[in-house]
Chain A
């Protein structure tokens, strides 16, 4: 097909616009990486933009060698793995059960679906977890409340319904019980769906910090996200200037330290997401179709 001059010109405009948009995403990262490795003098002279000035890895050494950070990292990894594992197992069990016929199915369906539309809200949930279940300062408070997401149950159930019934018949004849059917028949058949849902769960758990803030009081419960929050945002102090409340930026010389913390916390996601993004894209599109 022949292209008109206007179309060719537009193609170039399009490419330039895209490059500008992508630059706005990448520049902040380059800026922060540069700040994290530049010398203190260069940072204070405000001469660092997207290329480092001077070279200094002290901040990275300091963070990666700090017990507090390593403890936070271990917590994050542990909570993500355990949480994702439990979430997926529970989702799978419920999804499979909901494809079967049993006494009280209608009630059970309502029981799950209602939670998508109604919630008690922040304060009642906080009171239940912290005061009535006595889960303040326990790992339970960081794992259990967020295990079930009914949306994923709906997605997974529709996948299980697509499994040909002959497979289940064969398992039934072989005398498999329901647990065996779930984990030995259903699970291997819908691996792609399970992989996708695991990734949604894992990302949510990796990025979570709010439960740490509201349910725990000690550093031993910190996750990397919460660590970053404290490192970056504790630089503000509220001070009274006469009668007026003002904010002051504390002069912490270790600007590198904060920048390195951002990079270290962001890095695992930046490194992994290009390989898993297709699952998210598929998941979002199929969610839109279902929703």
Chain B
């Protein structure tokens, strides 16, 4: 009995000194160090490496030996019309993706939700996920194949059924953005609909029964119950999308574009790649990178503010 009473008294409530705490933490550090070293090398070193944006960086002189030029490279790209062209393309293509690509998974989820056969639902959903698992290399290969002017199925139809000349779609500026938007939707709508289908499943079924008793048809139920139920998830995804308005995936455009459609299809990421890695303009592309991150951050921040104002709901 006595021992049990004594035990709590023996615990030292004073915080142990640093040295003891450090010694006790060593096994934990051992678990953390490999990952932290990797981040230090491949994440933090590049973050500190952005100082080259303020230098006339030359690989031979190195980060510390190159001449410091302050904002020279920022002024340079801001007065370069090529930069404004890719900036414009990035925003326009993203706005197209948002306008057409954002509602599509919502509509798809609503249609899936109305299906009565659960088996059919499962089959449709599973097939709709397929393109998400494929790399952009595979998807871009498929796009190039079906649009090929010599053997592509679309041109086969145009030439044989409509007696038209075959069109080299990927080399025509007027079609390029449409191709980007359609192929993005094709690749992503299935997986994106997952968010909405999950939210739909969590809507209280009694609401529908109550509405039905009050005489509301399916359409009215969708408008008054289903869509309000999806509101939160729609806002979250919209905020995330607006936050990446000047971020555009590299893979899709790099694989599909060519010099003939640079005017409408060249975006910040592809431009940075060509300038930086192919033409070794390291300083100016690092400056573009910094600007892009800053604008991104501002966009996420304001989108979040806006959603708090408009919808009373925000990410943080």
Contacts and interface: CB of A to CB of B under 8 A. Distances in A.
Interface string B134-158: 1111101110111011110101100
Interface in A113-142: 115, 117-129, 131-133
B39 interface: yes
Give the 4 A-B CB pairs with smallest separation, nearest first: A120-B46, A121-B289, A124-B49, A207-B135
A258 B145 contact: yes
B217 A249 contact: no
Contacts of A269: 133-134, 138
B42 A285 contact: no
A76 to B, nearest CB: 11
A121 B171 contact: no
B259 A245 contact: yes
B286 A273 contact: no
A144 B115 CA distance: 46
Interface stretch (A161-169, A189-197, A229-237): A229-237
Given A97-B31, A265-B138, A31 B50 contact: no
Interface stretch (A6-14, A56-64, A66-74, A77-85): A6-14
Q: Chain B's interface: helix, strand, loop or mixed, by majority?
A: helix
Interface string A231-260: 011001010000001110101000100110
Interface in A143-178: 144-145, 147-148, 177-178
A229 to B, nearest CB: 5
Interface string B238-263: 00100000000011000100111000
B259 A238 contact: yes
A21 B108 contact: yes
A94 interface: yes
A262 B137 CA distance: 9
Interface in A34-62: 35, 43-44, 46-50
Contact of A262 (B18, B47, B131, B142): B142
A283 B316 CA distance: 21
B315 to A, nearest CB: 8
Contacts of A90: 34-35, 38
A111 B38 contact: no
- Classify chain A's interface size: 35 or more
B37 to A, nearest CB: 10
Interface of B: 18, 21-22, 24-25, 27-32, 34-36, 38-39, 41-50, 52, 59, 108, 111-112, 114-116, 120, 124, 126-138, 140-142, 144-146, 148-151, 153, 155-156, 159-160, 168, 171, 186, 190-191, 194-195, 198, 212, 217-218, 233, 236, 240, 250-251, 255, 258-260, 269, 272-273, 276-277, 282, 285-286, 289-290, 292-293, 297, 315
Contacts of A47: 156
Contacts of B30: 178-179
B49 to A, nearest CB: 3
B130 A121 contact: no
A6 B46 contact: no
Interface string A20-36: 01101111110110010
Given A46-B151, A121-B46, A94 B35 contact: yes
17 contacts: A4-B217, A21-B124, A27-B153, A28-B146, A46-B160, A48-B156, A97-B31, A102-B21, A102-B29, A111-B36, A125-B42, A210-B250, A247-B258, A270-B134, A273-B133, A274-B126, A280-B133
B129 A131 contact: no
A236 B258 contact: yes
